Structure 1
Amino acid sequence: MMPEELRRGRYVSLTTYRKNGTGVATPVWYAVDGDELYAWTRTDSWKVKRLRNDPRVEVALCDLRGNIDEGAGRFAGEGRLVTGEELRRIRGLLSRKYTWQYWLTDVPAMIVRLGKRPHTGIVVRFR
């Protein structure tokens, strides 16, 4: 079940876990559709490597720098990595939510990269 407060945030701190169980938090753009939370990241990122080894995640609303307000809810879930059509859907959700920020940051970066740094989608289901 999707925590209601996540439906209205701007950024989430996405915590993924190392093999030794240590959590690593990263602020990310995200979108919500139904009962799932969607984000994307570079395929070669450590988040992707950690999720391949351990699908556990923790999510909390945060600011641009990853600071979480005291008393903010932290929600446990399971992350799944996606590519292809599911990734295109995630990009569409993010471009609708972040409109001009998405077009000012991600579109020029994609053009400059010429596809050299592929991305992977992250789908989170909550427990």
Structure 2
Amino acid sequence: MIAEQFRRQKTVLLQTRKRDGTWVGTPVNVVVDDEGRYAFFRTYDASGKAKRLRNFSDVRLAPSTVRGRPTGPAVTGHARLLDETEAVAVRAMLAAKHPLIHGRLVPAFHRRRGYRTLHYEVTFEPQ
């Protein structure tokens, strides 16, 4: 499974497409489901990546440093916005893998700023 390569990776470089076709990279934390088929990440509704994903679901993911410098090859896929019932499990997985950041800091920051937290599922294209 393609997503399996991201299971131990704490940060990946998520690239999303702009309307003019150029790619914009952002480091994000990801988790992988138990079967290793999907990767999941979260963001907030006013972020640039969320706005770009409303127009184009195409994404690229590459292992990276915390600052977003790629450390491996990118794989292509499609991101799908999860509804609230689907997001419950992803929220728990993110909090388990990243207890301080996604268990406490990100949820508190989003609440304080009045942001709506969005969770995405990435399905990878066959290589």
> TM-score by structure 1 length?
0.87
* CA pair 111-22 structure 1, distance change in 2 beyond 3 A: closer
CA distance in 2, matches of 1:110, 1:23: 26
The answer for unaligned runs of 5 or more in structure 1 is none
Shift of 1:122: 1.1
* CA pair 125-110 structure 1, distance change in 2 beyond 3 A: same
**% same residue:** 30
1:22-74 CA distances to partner (integer Å, 9 max, x unpaired)? 000000011000300000000111111111111100000111110112xx121
1:70-91 CA distances to partner (integer Å, 9 max, x unpaired)? xx12100001112311222211
Give the 3-state SS of the residue equivalent to 2:66 in structure 1: coil
Shift of 1:110: 4.4
- Aligned equivalent of 1:54: 56
* CA pair 7-103 structure 1, distance change in 2 beyond 3 A: closer
Of the two structures, which has the highest relative contact order with CA contacts closer than 8 Å and spacing of 6 or more? 1
**How many residues are matched?**
123
Q: Which aligned runs of 4 or more in structure 1 are off by greater than 6 angstroms? A: none
1:123 matched to 2:121 = yes
TM-align CA RMSD: 1.6
